Amino acid sequence: MNKLVVVDLGTFCDYRLMDDALRELQQQYDIVYVTDEKRKLPADAIAYRFKTPTSVTGTSNNAAADIDLNVMDADSNVILWGVIHPMTAYEAYTWISAMRAHVEAAVRDHGAVGIILHYAATMMLWNLAEDLLKRLQIFVIYHAPGLVNKSTPWVFDPVLKSADFTLYESGKRYEDRCMKSWYAYYDKLRVSVTTSVTSQHLRGKLGGNVHHIMCWDQAVARPLEPAFKALRVHQAGALYNERYAAKRWYGGGGGGGGGGQPKWIRAWLAGAPTVLVSFGSYSVTSNIQRILPLMLGTLEECGVRVLYHATSDEAAAAVKDTAHRRVIKGWLPYEWAVPKCAAVLFTGSVCLQSVCIYNKTPMIFVPLLAEQFFWARNYEAMTGTPFVHYQSADHRIVANLLRAWLVERTSPMTTAYLRECGKSMRLNDGSKRVGEIVRSFVAPMK
């Protein structure tokens, strides 16, 4: 079979989404991975491994959640930032260089006919050999708006965290703000201080045989207006597999340890309304640890039950069981738990968000990364539900959490939005659509 090189990076959620994106393609293509050394793959998988620095992932125990870094601000200078942060700059340069070398080796060694990029690896369009980019079909998988457009800023721009920013505003001023963000981002990819990126240059890198595949349901967010009409943009739909709901339980079940489903959890979820609280790998970051007691206490004072999902020993040690709270440690199949909960409190990961939307379960966002702030602001625009900003004063955190839980969770606006999105997700299988798009441009068999 023909080979596809897949550049796969990110978190556990990103890996699961890429698995879903490849679900239809794996039957007709051999997949060659360029991925992090910690990525779990089948024993017989072909993989070229790199090491992602923790300064990029932001999930180390001491991380402050500001992994957007000052360099990501539209007004920052990438050269000056590198001088001030030499070790971080060196780590990022080494990481990108290793990724580029692995991609070129994978294409050369296996005669690949196409490349699939996670959208966080878009810098490969500026780093790979020019003849390779012209010769192969390139497919970029987006889990959020990561392509230059007039509707949103660059999805990792810290402006999304700013108190004075409102998503989806209209008018030239807002459009100019978005475009400034995108051009600053692409200038950083070029690492140029003598010339600025031009529209012609962007069309050359992002157009041609590059395909931009948007992998969220069309009903979830407002339509985006691409900056250039010539770009090949495809709306595939959400990457979601309802079969995950049947996935077996394993690992420590919490509440006494041992494998399998905890005996207490069904009865607990069948009681008073329960909020699932899950921050995944960000549970131990300082920003979450600072406000977590405040949020848990606020919910419990409302008489709400809390199911706190701890993905590590350290996260579990930070939260104790109470009369209104139970801690579950280890694996928790969200597809099983979410439909049994009255709401979900989380950072805004796309994986858990998709489960909530599919099951029409209200969400309360506590975003940390700029990308998560985009989804939090999108949900606020669609439902009126405020999000919890980790940089807010305590009284504002409490007020927004109470409003999200007591008022907006059951509002007609929220109910209608979740109903429409859930219906659309059931009608549009993003994994099948990704397969159709790739096969329409790359022959599956030699």
Amino acid in position 11: T
Identify the band that residue 330 occupies on the pLDDT scale cut at 50, 70 and 90.
confident
Largest Cα span, the chain: 65
Q: What is the CATH number of domain 243-426?
A: 3.40.50.2000
Angle at 112 between CA 111 and CA 118, to 5 degrees: 150
Residue 3's SS3 state is strand
Rg (CA), the chain: 22
Question: Across-strand partners of 275?
Answer: 306, 343
pLDDT in tens, 201-224: 899 999 999 999 999 999 999 999
Work out the average pLDDT over 99-114. 95
pLDDT band with cut points at 50, 70 and 90 for residue 281? confident
User: Which residues 6+ apart lie within 8 Å of 293 measured at CB?
Assistant: none
Sheet holding 343-346, edge to edge: 325-329, 305-310, 274-278, 343-346, 363-365
Please tell me if the domain spanning 3-238+428-441 has the same topology as the one spanning 243-426: yes
Per-residue confidence (pLDDT) for residue 46, from 0 to 100: 95
Question: Please, what is the end-to-end C-alpha distance for the chain in angstroms?
Answer: 6
11's tokens = 């978190």
**Residue 334 neighbours by CB under 8 Å, 6+ apart:** 244, 276, 278, 351, 352, 355
The H or E element that residue 30 is part of is: strand 30-36
Question: Locate tokens 């943009």: which residue?
Answer: 233
The single residue listed with the structure tokens 């942060």 is 85
Q: Which amino acid is at 35?
A: T
Sign of CA dihedral 180, 181, 186, 187: positive
Task: Using pLDDT thresholds of 50, 70 and 90, give the confidence band for residue 320.
Answer: very high
Range 3-238+428-441: architecture per CATH: 3-Layer(aba) Sandwich (3.40)
Q: How far apart are CA 151 and CA 77, in angstroms?
A: 24
SS3 letters across 320-386: CCECCEEEEECCCCHHHHHHHCCEEEECCCHHHHHHHHHCCCCEEECCCCHHHHHHHHHHHHHHCCC
* 19 contact partners, CB below 8 Å, separation of at least 6: none
Label residue 254 by pLDDT band (50, 70, 90): very low
pLDDT at 155 over 70: yes
- Provide the residue ranges of all domains of the chain, joining segments of one domain with +: 3-238+428-441, 243-426
**pLDDT tens digit sequence for 161-193:** 998 999 999 999 999 999 999 998 888 777 555
SS3 label, residue 35: strand
Residue with the larger pLDDT of the pair 90 and 424: 424
- Give yes or no for residue 52 having a pLDDT over 60: yes
Q: Please spell the DSSP secondary structure of 50-74, one letter per residue.
A: E---HHHH--STT--S-TTTGGGST
